């Protein structure tokens, strides 16, 4: 039986203006007695001990008047041109509530004192992200929600969602785990299948959502192409990068239903940027090679793999664009800083920065046979100089001395900016119907 990522026979509305009576929090109904952070599954009695809500029961999706709407408004909306608006209902999950945020991104627990950076929502120009109206058969009220974790889980029921890339994608991976956790009635039914705790030293995680028979996975691949080593005449090992060969982790990629790829920041580091005795094609090691040209060739290697191995009728592919860094006075390894930034940049030329790497991404995606959805987060991250861990990538509470010598102005605090990237994935799933065949239960693990 054919199924789709749009799992209900319903359409969603794009609101051109803010709702007149929007709830305080996107997951909490209006007039609720408790406006603290609660997941929709806690607020609505749509789940019981037998499992989550099934299709066609307990909640639905309509427009504000209870009727079906055309999807044309959704399709015409450019989600990536917009601005950040203050929203006291954010963040979607409470800081400190999610056990899957590792120390490097847990800025508040690490001693960051300001919190306004948590209260911003991404809003496209001239429209909004798809807003669904939720109603419950158990209740007398309905409400609008920008993001609904329970509905997201229902859309990926029986599927594998896999994020592949560097630590920026791990940043996004931890965010999506925290967001989807908000949709669970019984949170013990979400777990890493091998019992692994998320750490930067491990490169593969599989989180299963038992009630939905779906998994959300992370596969580390810094470049998407093959990393290797060579031994020089003195017996020393030096890294190499084969820009014409796909990464060895690709055998895992084939098994996913939804893929989210990225690569970018590692191309600006050390040997990668200098390009001396580092890049390979075939057996030939280039004595010197331009990193931008290498990036383009590597991305084409990835694109060729996608075209040969992905079935667009059964799988959905995203490429998440370059996430902006905000170093002042240096780079990540040369004294660059972003400490003390407490609000986004809302105007200025910085908002239009579009790095050469993204122009290459645009070019390569246009050449591909398999359609790839570009999560073009570059502009929306240009605004957010306030969202990085800075000096709060390590715990500096309890009187510990704060080191300002090396600051993280590339990754993002959680809750924070990567939550918006995952809202955009959700918006994409909501706004289009993708045909696929349902997999059997044993095809996952």
| Chain segment 275-286, per-residue pLDDT in tens | 999 999 999 999
Place of tokens 């599954």: 41
Q: How confident is the model at residue 28 (pLDDT cuts 50, 70, 90)?
A: very low
pLDDT at site 60:
40
In this predicted structure, which of 32-46, 318-332, 354-368 has the lowest mean pLDDT?
32-46
CA dist 406 and 336 (Å) reads 7
CA dist 190 and 204 (Å) reads 17
End-to-end Cα spacing for the chain: 22
pLDDT at site 432:
73
pLDDT at site 268:
84
Q: Which of 247, 411, 419, 431 is the catalytic position?
A: 411
Q: How confident is the model at residue 134 (pLDDT cuts 50, 70, 90)?
A: low
Q: Which two tokens stand for residue 54?
A: 């099934």
Q: Which two tokens stand for residue 210?
A: 């038992």
The answer to whether 310 touches 370, Cβ cutoff 8 Å, is: yes
Q: Which two tokens stand for residue 321?
A: 């664009």
Residue 29, pLDDT above cutoff 90: no
Does residue 411 carry a catalytic annotation? yes
CA dist 257 and 444 (Å) reads 10
In sequence order, which ranges of 164-311 are alpha helices (DSSP H)?
Answer: 167-181, 250-253, 270-274, 291-309
pLDDT at site 71:
44
Percent of the chain with pLDDT over 90: 65
Percent of the chain with pLDDT over 70: 75
Q: Which two tokens stand for residue 43?
A: 């607020």
Q: Which of 63, 151, 247, 408 is the catalytic position?
A: 408
Q: Which of 4, 167, 244, 269 is the catalytic position?
A: 167
CA dist 32 and 43 (Å) reads 9
DSSP 8-state assignment for residue 239:
E
Q: Is the dihedral of CA 60, 65, 71, 74 positive or negative?
A: negative
Q: Which two tokens stand for residue 202?
A: 């491990």
Stretch 241-263: mean pLDDT, rounded?
98
CA dist 378 and 264 (Å) reads 12
CA dist 354 and 220 (Å) reads 25
CA dist 78 and 391 (Å) reads 35
| Chain segment 396-430, per-residue pLDDT in tens | 776 565 666 789 999 999 999 999 999 999 999 98
The pairing of beta strand 204-209 with beta strand 214-220: antiparallel
């Amino acid at each position: 039986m054919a199924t789709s990522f749009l799992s209900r026979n319903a359409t969603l509305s794009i609101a051109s203006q803010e709702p007149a009576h929007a709830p305080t929090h996107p997951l909490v109904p209006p007039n609720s007695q408790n406006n603290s952070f609660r997941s929709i599954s806690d607020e609505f009695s749509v789940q019981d001990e037998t499992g989550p809500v099934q299709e066609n029961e307990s909640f639905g999706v309509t427009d504000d008047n209870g009727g079906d709407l055309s999807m044309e408004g959704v399709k015409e909306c450019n989600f990536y041109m917009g601005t950040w608006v203050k929203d006291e209902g954010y963040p979607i999950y409470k800081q400190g509530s999610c056990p899957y945020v590792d120390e490097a991104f847990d800025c508040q627990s690490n001693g960051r004192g300001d919190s306004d950076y948590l209260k911003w929502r991404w809003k496209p120009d001239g429209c909004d992200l798809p807003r669904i109206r939720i109603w419950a058969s158990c209740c007398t009220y309905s409400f609008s929600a920008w993001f609904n974790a329970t509905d997201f889980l229902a859309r990926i029921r029986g599927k594998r969602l896999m994020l592949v890339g560097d630590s920026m994608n791990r940043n996004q991976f931890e965010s999506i785990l925290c967001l989807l956790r908000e949709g669970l009635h019984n949170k013990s039914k979400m777990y890493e299948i091998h019992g692994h705790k998320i750490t930067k030293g491990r490169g593969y995680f599989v989180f299963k959502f038992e009630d939905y028979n779906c998994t959300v996975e992370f596969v580390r691949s810094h470049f998407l192409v093959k990393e290797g080593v060579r031994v020089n005449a003195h017996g020393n090992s030096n890294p190499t990068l084969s820009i014409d060969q796909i990464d060895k982790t690709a055998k895992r990629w084939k098994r996913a239903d939804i893929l989210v790829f990225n690569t970018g920041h590692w191309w600006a580091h050390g040997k990668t940027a200098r390009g001396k005795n580092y890049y390979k094609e075939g057996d030939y090691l280039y004595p010197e090679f331009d990193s931008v040209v290498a990036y383009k060739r590597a991305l084409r290697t990835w694109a060729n793999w996608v075209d040969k191995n992905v079935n667009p009728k059964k799988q959905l592919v995203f490429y998440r664009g370059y996430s902006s860094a905000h170093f002042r006075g240096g780079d990540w390894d040369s004294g660059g800083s972003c400490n003390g930034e407490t609000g986004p940049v809302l105007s200025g030329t910085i908002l239009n920065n579009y790095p050469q790497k993204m122009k290459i991404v645009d070019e390569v995606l246009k050449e591909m046979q398999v359609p790839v959805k570009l999560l073009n987060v570059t502009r929306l991250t240009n605004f957010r100089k306030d969202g990085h861990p800075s000096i709060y990538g390590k715990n500096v509470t309890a009187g510990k001395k704060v080191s300002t010598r090396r600051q993280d102005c590339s990754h993002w605090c959680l809750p924070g900016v990567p939550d918006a990237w995952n809202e955009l994935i959700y918006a994409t799933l909501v706004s289009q119907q993708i045909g696929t065949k349902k997999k059997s239960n044993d095809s996952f693990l």
